[in-house]
Amino acid sequence: MTKVGTNATIPCHANVATRNCSSRTSPYMTSRKCSPFTGVWQEPDMSQCNNTEWITGKLKNITTKGIDEENFEPVSTKLLNISEKSVYFKKEDVDLAVDVLKKMVPLISNVSVNITLLRINNMINTPEKILVEAEQFNRSVNRMLDIIETIPEQIPLGEQSVTALYSNLGIGAAKVEKDTFNGLTYAVSYGTNETEARTEIYQNSNSNVDDTMDFISLPKSLLRHMKDEELVNISRISMVSLRDDKLYRVIQNSSAKANTKINSHIIAASIPNVNITNRDEPVTIAFNVIDPNTTNPQCVYWDESPGRNPHWSAKGCDTSDYEPGKKVFCTCNHLTSFAMLMDVYQNERDLKQMLSILSNIACGISLVCVILTAIVHVYFKNLWKLTSSKNLVNLSISLAATYFIFLVGFQEYSTKITAVCKAVAALLHYFLLTSFIWMAVEALHIFLGVVVVFNTYQSSFIKKCSILAWGIPAVIVIITLAINNTNNYIIMEQACWLSSTAFYAAFLAPVALILLFNITMFSLVMRSLNSMQNDKKFEHKPKKVRVFGIVGLCFLLGFPWLLPFFGFGEAAEVFHLLFAIFTPLQGMFIFLCYCIYKKDARDAIYPYLCKRNKVDRKQAMKDIKSPAPVMKKEIKQQKRTYK
């Protein structure tokens, strides 16, 4: 016991002192050693403490000092100790650790390869949320995958082959004798515990692999038809396996509820510096099913083609055999990372396919309807004189182009040529924006006619609106193309569309503003109409007619596009279902409301739809060419007000 305010001297022995660290409930200890040479206490060792600042500090210290052959071993040991605490990593820690690993890979030897792999194996245990943040921060997870794939290319091959397997990953490397190559098989099983885990390399393609193991088998014809310069570079085949798709999920970072999932280990093979594609004799891959309660197996590979987000693709791969709930056999005509994708929710997949078919049918119907709407309002002069008709024709042309591009270009076959795919995406982007702006023009025109009631004739109204409606989207699309060298339009699973950031900035933001404007205009118009209900000067139509008119106005202003904004939580599927049905039918409702329901249009097309005697037909045509007093009055009124 030491009295307050006094000093106490304790002899220092060449030993280690320990004391508790971290929280009161922590079982870990911090320690510091008393040097037998200097007789003073050394820096405390807090490696057992779950202190995130300590982890970050140690990693920064390693990166600052640098790594070379002399300090490789002590740095490896330090990083191994740190990696054991990867569950406490922050995004900065992941990034720093990956930087250290990248510097260490060129210095790997047979002795150090295991400790390097063990560090990476530990880092995969980092919480997925932190890995996502690290990937967004500095592509740390993508770089980690690159390091994993590089290690079997770098390790010295003293023997014919080398393998290593840990709880999360495994690697293999085998020498290649070009003249005597008889195929190669890489097999792996992670088992349920360490004693069951094993990995093998067989120097042929016809080995009898244990049923419990996943494997990739390369045919003996793999090296045929290769160019001499490619054969010179071939000295080994590298192989990698991962227990699950965690790192790939992080890179994809899809927040949407997936109907499919990777239901196997990941297995990959490659020849360094040689691209193996379109082989005559395919590569064979076999996967054991992890979750038997899944259906519809699909063999996929990790596609990192330029100009598109990394994703799982089935291109060049086929499912050759399937033992339900047990095993899947695949054949692929190239080498990369392979996995097996299976349906989690078969009913949802069927619903998605059904909605896709319904949307295509609805778009086809709407395409015909908006074309007819444009023809009717252009052909009949008395309709074309109205500003509302000119607005409607422009909207119909824009919607027709949108439906046509969606039906013809927004399909899976368009992804085969990158330039074509991006052009389709840019055109669809442009015409969607023009459609929304013309909806806003309609909203403004109705507001001016009902609420403001201009007393002067504005001949330039439609010209100004045309410049804005067709010009602003062009500027947005050109900027989107210019920024990031056209890579804001990316190839997705079945078509090209905007990347995530570009979608929010160049599409969702302007659309949301336009819809907000339309809602405001609609509300003001409805309030103005309601105030007229008790005014005897105005003609009051039946309630059914008024309701139908309001519904038509909602479709004209694009209100079905608001449905996804309410698609949260348990109600998401319902709103997305309504969106998929009603949005493509916008053109049909416009035709019904403004060609069939609207009296002026109905009177104009009536003679062409009904069989009447010659006198009646001539009289009808005469009425069309010479407007009825009521129509003349309306045209005159519009010219005097807001046309």
Is 236 a domain residue? yes
CATH code of the domain covering residue 199 = 2.60.220.50
Residues 335 and 417 in one domain: no
Residues 90 and 29 in one domain: no
Whole-angstrom distance, CA of residue 570 vs CA of residue 583: 21
3-state SS, residue 321: strand
- The backbone torsions φ and ψ at residue 174, rounded to the nearest 5 degrees and listed phi first, read -140, 140
Is 5 a domain residue? no
- Mean per-residue pLDDT over the chain, rounded: 80
Long-range contacts of 49-57 (CB under 8 A, 24+ apart): 49/21, 49/22, 50/22, 50/26, 50/85, 50/88, 51/21, 51/22, 52/88, 52/89, 52/90, 52/93, 55/82, 55/85, 55/88, 55/89, 55/90, 55/93, 56/90, 56/92, 56/93, 56/96
Tokens for 516, please give them: 């907000």
The pLDDT, as a whole number, for residue 642 is 41
Last residue of a domain, one of 314, 344, 374: 344
- The backbone torsions φ and ψ at residue 141, rounded to the nearest 5 degrees and listed phi first, read -70, -40
Q: Are 441 and 469 in contact (CB under 8 A)?
A: yes
DSSP 8-state secondary structure symbol assigned to residue 448: I
The pLDDT, as a whole number, for residue 240 is 95
Whole-angstrom distance, CA of residue 167 vs CA of residue 119: 12
Residues 502 and 367 in one domain: yes
User: DSSP secondary structure string, 477-526?
Assistant: HHHHHHTTTTTTEEE-SSSEEE-HHHHIIIIIHHHHHHHHHHHHHHHHHH
Residue 468's domain comprises 349-640
CB atoms within 10 A of CB 516: 11
Residues 485 and 533 in one domain: yes
The pLDDT, as a whole number, for residue 640 is 43
CATH code of the domain covering residue 136 = 1.25.40.610
Q: Is the pLDDT of residue 221 over 50?
A: yes
Is 35 a domain residue? yes
Is 3 a domain residue? no
**Which comes out higher in pLDDT, residue 523 or 633?**
523
Tokens for 71, please give them: 């300090």
Nearest to 636 by CA among 497, 373, 457: 457
The angle that helices 418-447 and 461-482 make with each other, rounded to 10 degrees, is 150
185-214 residue pLDDT tens: 999 999 887 778 899 999 887 778 888 899
135-156 residue pLDDT tens: 999 999 999 999 999 999 988 8
CA–CA distances in Å: residue 33 to residues 62, 75, 300, 477? 22, 20, 54, 66
Whole-angstrom distance, CA of residue 421 vs CA of residue 419: 5
Residues 413 and 335 in one domain: no
Q: Are 45 and 31 in contact (CB under 8 A)?
A: yes
3-state SS, residue 235: coil
CB atoms within 10 A of CB 271: 21
Among left, alpha and beta (phi > 0; psi -120 to 50; other), residue 338 is: beta
DSSP 8-state secondary structure symbol assigned to residue 601: H
The pLDDT, as a whole number, for residue 44 is 55
CA–CA distances in Å: residue 158 to residues 109, 114, 151, 165, 235? 11, 15, 15, 18, 13
87-105 residue pLDDT tens: 999 999 999 999 999 988 8
The pLDDT, as a whole number, for residue 485 is 82
**Which comes out higher in pLDDT, residue 539 or 562?**
562
Whole-angstrom distance, CA of residue 248 vs CA of residue 312: 9
Is 337 a domain residue? yes
Is 436 a domain residue? yes
Q: Name every residue whose Cβ is closer than 8 Å to that of residue 160 and which is 6 or more positions away in sequence.
A: 174, 175, 203
Whole-angstrom distance, CA of residue 209 vs CA of residue 186: 9
What are the b/e assignments for 389-408, b being 16+ CB within 10 Å?
A: bbbbbbbbbbbbbbbbbbee
**Which comes out higher in pLDDT, residue 546 or 264?**
264
Rg (CA), the chain: 35
pLDDT level of residue 286 (50, 70, 90 thresholds): very high
Range scoring the smallest mean pLDDT among 129-133, 306-310, 429-433: 306-310
pLDDT level of residue 167 (50, 70, 90 thresholds): very high
Tokens for 131, please give them: 């890995």
CB atoms within 10 A of CB 176: 17
Average pLDDT over residues 351-368: 85
Average pLDDT over residues 272-276: 83
Residues 37 and 74 in one domain: no
Q: For the chain, how many structural domains are there in total?
A: 4
- The backbone torsions φ and ψ at residue 172, rounded to the nearest 5 degrees and listed phi first, read -150, 150
